[in-house]
Amino acid sequence: MIGRIVQSVDFERVLAAPTRARSAHFAVHFLAARPAVKVAAVRHAAHKLSTGEAPIQGAAVDDLPEGACWLGAVVPKRHARRAVTRNLLKRQIRRVVHAQAGLPSGLWVIRLRSPFDRKLFPSAASDALRTVAGNELLAVMAKAARTGA
């Protein structure tokens, strides 16, 4: 099971950890931990009174199965100016991580650390860029998975 990292505190914790693997364009960070619990949501729920049924919420972080991974993707605008390119890279990151088997449970953040050459990839969302980024992500994730084992 792969969840998403959504809180900035979790991104900060993982990015403070050393880089687990890197390639020409991507860096992979890993922290063997669980996401932080949202304090505001817990505080808000405690003060809300209702006579009706409580809304059904997602599973608590502590109730998630062992072996769960959480993924965060960092694709800064300074390295990928167009939203189409940023979205393409984020989709490739998610695709590669979902296809990766045997990842250790914990928090994973993949970040774009340098831009792709616009002379080689003039189109914002070309098949060539998708293929090159996907292959590079496969290689760096395979290296990251082996590093911790």
Residue-range domains of the chain with CATH: 2-36+63-148 (3.30.230.10)
- Single out the residue of 95, 81, 89 nearest to residue 25, CA to CA: 89
Alpha-helical regions (H) of 22-126: 39-47, 83-99
Task: Per-residue pLDDT tens, the chain, 149 aa: give them.
Answer: 789 999 999 999 999 999 999 999 999 999 999 998 876 555 555 556 566 665 555 555 455 556 689 999 999 999 999 999 999 999 999 999 999 878 899 999 999 999 999 899 988 889 999 999 999 999 999 999 887 65
What's the distance, Cα to Cα, between the start and end of the chain in Å?
A: 19
pLDDT for residue 68: 84
Instruction: Name the one residue in this structure whose structure tokens are 């972080």.
Output: 61
Q: Is the pTM of this model over 0.75?
A: yes
Q: Are strands 2-4 and 69-74 parallel, antiparallel or unpaired?
A: parallel
Q: Which residue has the tokens 């616009």?
A: 118
